[in-house]
Structure 1
């Protein structure tokens, strides 16, 4: 059964070529099939669209009016199909990522560079936030994927771990002597503590672990960024709980010292999350693939 769209495609081709036979060749149809399609469209519209002459066909006044709209519509459909193909081939589009400042700086940047070098026409939109905020905007459709601190408990999200990280305590020169020998968590929490703010998922992970050991904390400082934790510890304002993988520059340069715990805090992970109910776009799929496979 010929669809209405097919009828309009035949109509536009006949109108442009002014010939049933030429239109049939262009459409890889028989001339009787083209004639039948035009007759069907005229019946459905109850309007004569062409004037038949021995030399071909010409549009009636009604036909000219219809052609203006039908030809424009078919052109827009073709453009849309081309745009879809461009999206699939990653020659255009946008990738929206929700991520925190620290993860963006210490983890995400190399993958953004790789992806941009491969697909320079894909635009990036980066939205910063805490893990909780990122999960929220992910559900609202404001980002395609989120790069977050795990664990996350949400059955609507697909979670894929990308890198293991370790939470440690660090100090500056003033407390350096403490770092020279193993120290228990009970002893650490008696010192002036510097933690991320309560909304942070990594803070919650560490605090939940300490509570499971019967240890409660009351930090002297609660800060909004990982870099501030490092800076506050460096100027001896207390003992900071930081992510080891994101603190290597300070540790390697001797600006901070890691406390040797008698019982290490269990590792956690950083990963990518996205909605289970919504298929990933081609750009999102390729970006996740790059991160998972660590493609260079």
Structure 2
């Protein structure tokens, strides 16, 4: 069934070609079909659009006026279709990612580089925040996806684990001997403790585990930066609870030592989250695929 839009496309091509036969070749239609389409449009509009002559056709005054609008509209439609194809090919657009400072620095950067190299015309918008803040930003539509510390208890969010991390305790030279044996959690909490702030998802996870063992912590220092945890431990201010995978540089260089505890904290995940009710954009889907393909386990 021929639609009104089809009729206008035929009209526009005839107006450009000034010939039914030439227009039929451009449109891959028969000449009678082109003539029939123009007659149908003229009947529907109740006006003559073309002057027919033995040498071809020319637009009437009314036809010229209509042609200006129809030609502009069809051009806009064509541009819109091209833009859609560009989005499908990931040659334009923006990916809005929410992420915490620590995950951004120690985990995310290599994958941003991989994605950018594959899709150089896509723009990034990176918004930093805590896990709680990022979940709120997802729900408000301000970001497409968030890279967060799990676990997250929110039924409105889809959670995709990308890799495992382990929380461990580390110390500087002053407490180096604690790395040689096995220390119970009860013994360890007698030392000065260095933790992230209480609203941190990482802090909550470790604190919940220790409470399950009947141990309540009272840190000597509560910090807002993961890097400060490492530095405070390095200058012997106490024992810091850190993510082992993000502390390898300090551990491998001998700046910090891992405290061996009898009851290790269970590993947890870093992952992507997004709203269940909103399908991921193509750009977001491709980025998640890159993250998950590279991180069956974290080797940073």
TM-score relative to the length of structure 1: 0.94
- DSSP 3-state at the match of 1:240: strand
Q: Distance in 2 between matches of 1:13 and 1:281?
A: 35
Consecutive unaligned residues of structure 1, counting only runs of 5 or more, are none
1:239 correspondence with 2:239: yes
Q: 1:20: which partner in 2?
A: 20
State the shift of 1:275 in Å. 2.2
Per the TM alignment, residue 218 of structure 1 is displaced from its structure 2 partner at its CA by 2.1
1:188-227 matches, cutoff 5 A: 188-227=188-227
Deviation at 1:22, TM superposition (A): 1.4
Match of 2:260 in 1: 260
Q: Trace 1:77-156 onto structure 2 (pairs within 5 A).
A: 77-156=77-156
Provide the secondary structure at the position in 2 that maps to 1:142: coil
For residues 255-284 of structure 1, give each alpha carbon's deviation from its aligned partner in whole angstroms, at most 9, with x where no partner exists: 111111110000001111222222222222
Question: Deviations for 1:42-101, whole angstroms, at most 9, x for unmatched residues?
Answer: 233333222222222211222222211211111111111112112212222222211111
Q: What is the total number of aligned residue pairs between the two structures? A: 295
Shift of residue 192, structure 1, vs aligned partner? 1.8
Q: Which runs of 5+ in 2 are unaligned?
A: 296-300
TM-score, length basis structure 2: 0.93
Any idea what SS the aligned residue of 1:215 has?
coil
Alpha-carbon displacement from aligned partner over 1:127-161 (angstroms, at most 9, x marks no partner): 11111112221222222221111111222222111
What's 1:180 paired with?
A: 180
Q: Which deviates more from structure 2 when the two are superposed, residues 242-251 or residues 87-96? A: 87-96
CA drift at 1:200? 1.4
